[in-house]
Structure 1
Amino acid sequence: MQFTVHQRFFFDAAHTLQREIEAAGSRRIHGHTYHAEVAVRGPRDPATGMVIDLGHLRARLQEMRERLDHHLLDEVPGLGTPTLENLCLFIARALSDLQPAPSQVRVWRDAMGDACTLDLSPGA
């Protein structure tokens, strides 16, 4: 049996973006409230009854939040261009040492209706 455990966090951050459409507003520094969800998939440990201790996952997500919250995303080392896709990848890479490693990372902006999901499952 495989279980998938999810944990969410949010952060407020600013960025700029060079793009062809909606260019003027995107090039200026502007901000969003971002939401992120990390999923971890695996068997339930018979000794603990858990796939992962959510306390450990929450602690790591708090570290991630501190790296992103109230920052200019253009300046976050290792992020690259501050797109939803790169945010998903950045979070996944930062948490890749978890056991089990994330199986999915989702980042979205409710106010904009935008979302991106990175599926890290085998065969995805």
Structure 2
Amino acid sequence: MVIFKKFAFDSAHFLPNVPEGHKCKNVHGHTYHLTVFLEGDLVKDLEWVMDFKEVKDVIKPVIDRLDHNMINDIPGLENPTAERITVWIWDQIKPSLPLLSKLELNETPTSGVIYEGK
């Protein structure tokens, strides 16, 4: 069974490696929407895959590092493309969420990344 939990955060960033004149070379912000997917069997007697509060407890400190901050200032996110941010989040949470199967990060309503750990 697959369960999911959604989160949102607001952050500023710029993309230092894009060509001169590209608008994303300038500082700008997004309201990011993160969906965390977990896959596993139902826990006997509880009849759930995982407690959503446990998921939130793992994700909240990571979101707090990103929310209302300049992402480029976070070690490992000096070139914070949506793809790089998604992999960074995965690396932060996977050790505490062994059932993690997929992340979806939207930086706009029409653009985003799906990452399955590969």
Question: Does TM-score exceed 0.5, indicating one fold?
Answer: yes
CA displacement at 1:49 relative to structure 2: 1.5
Question: When the two structures are superposed, what TM-score results if normalisation uses the length of structure 2?
Answer: 0.88
How many pairs were matched up? 117
Consecutive aligned runs of 4 or more in structure 1 exceeding 4 Å deviation: none
CA displacement at 1:105 relative to structure 2: 0.5
In structure 1, stretches of 5+ residues that fail to align are none
Cα distance in 2 for partners of 1:65, 1:55 equals 15
Letter in 1 for 2:67: D
Spell out, residue by residue over 1:91-112, the C-alpha distance to the aligned partner (whole angstroms, 9 max, x if none): 111111234331000100235x
- Pick closer, same or farther for the CA change 1:12–1:99 going to 2, 3 Å: closer
Please give the root-mean-square deviation of Cα atoms over the aligned residues, in Å.
Answer: 1.8
Please say if residues 58 and 96 of structure 2, whose CA atoms lie closer than 8 Å, have aligned partners that are also in contact: no
1:91 aligns with 89
2:103 aligns with 105
2:116 aligns with 119
Cα distance in 1 for partners of 2:13, 2:104 equals 19
In structure 2, stretches of 5+ residues that fail to align are none
Question: When the two structures are superposed, what TM-score results if normalisation uses the length of structure 1?
Answer: 0.84
